[in-house]
Amino acid sequence: MSALLEVRGLSVDYGKVRALHEASLRVEAGRIATVIGPNGAGKSTLLNAIMGVLPAAAGEVLFEGRNRHGAIESRVAEGLCLVPEKRELFASMTVEDNLLLGGYVHLDWRGRGWTKARDEVFALFPRLAERRTQLAGTLSGGERQMLAIGRALMSRPRLLMLDEPSLGLAPLVVREIFHIIAGLRERGVAILLVEQNARAALQVADEAHVLENGRIGLSGPAATLMHDPRVVATYLGLG
């Protein structure tokens, strides 16, 4: 079966420094794949290169079996979307206007189409519905992450890439966000999840990869990696 996303031998350089070395992974439709690893391992670099925000020095990214060379907007329109680590919301705009911007790649959605998409996001995140007129910059950390995910969903992705959604959030909020991530899979959205919170990521994911020093050193079913002695010792030892 051909994967929804296939990354083959992807390398990325920052100037003369190679930050990602020949990374390969697949994400099947309707599955959650996770990439865990420490600070500076190259996780954001991997996602940004898949999205096309960063150029690849080598390798290729196939989405639905095809190489996509178009602009980032066209990748979004085709069903690939990234929620960046810093969320990058428009702080001085309302929750609702941030959502509206997430749907901009589908221009024919103006009017009722956009309202329908917004209502679906509000059904998934009732907290955002309650705060629809609040400025994004005044939201709590968890609400901001919800808005970032909600805004991405406005583009109707088939594959959603999440860069450290748990970053800076309290444990209870992390649990809520991961519950939402699992719910997205039930709705048929495939997810590529990059996380330092290995325990939470491995619990929700189907497939997992360990990225260290820019190299994927270990890959397998998440349930298997959860019990791999190397993963336990390095990433799950505490708590």
Neighbours of 237 (CB within 10 A): 8
Interface pick for ligand ATP out of 7, 33, 45, 148 (rule CB under 6 A) = 45
Q: How far is the CB of 57 from ligand ATP (least distance, A)?
A: 13
Q: What is the largest CA-CA distance in the chain?
A: 54
Q: How far is the CB of 17 from ligand ATP (least distance, A)?
A: 6
14 DSSP β-pair partners = 17
Which parts of 173-212 interact with ligand ATP (CB under 6 A)?
Answer: 196
Interface pick for ligand ATP out of 34, 44, 98, 197 (rule CB under 6 A) = 44
Q: How far is the CB of 132 from ligand ATP (least distance, A)?
A: 31
Q: How far is the CB of 100 from ligand ATP (least distance, A)?
A: 29
Residues ≥6 apart with Cβ < 8 Å to 13: 19, 57
Which residue in this structure is represented by tokens 């680590």?
A: 85
Interface pick for ligand ATP out of 39, 67, 229, 238 (rule CB under 6 A) = 39
Residue ranges in 125-204 assigned as alpha helix (H)? 126-130, 141-153, 171-186, 198-204
Which parts of 93-152 interact with ligand ATP (CB under 6 A)?
Answer: none
Interface pick for ligand ATP out of 5, 27, 43, 225 (rule CB under 6 A) = 43
HSE of 5, CA atoms in CB hemisphere, 13 A: 29
Neighbours of 93 (CB within 10 A): 15
Which residues in this chain contact ligand ATP in the complex, by CB under 6 A? 14, 19, 37, 39-45, 85, 196
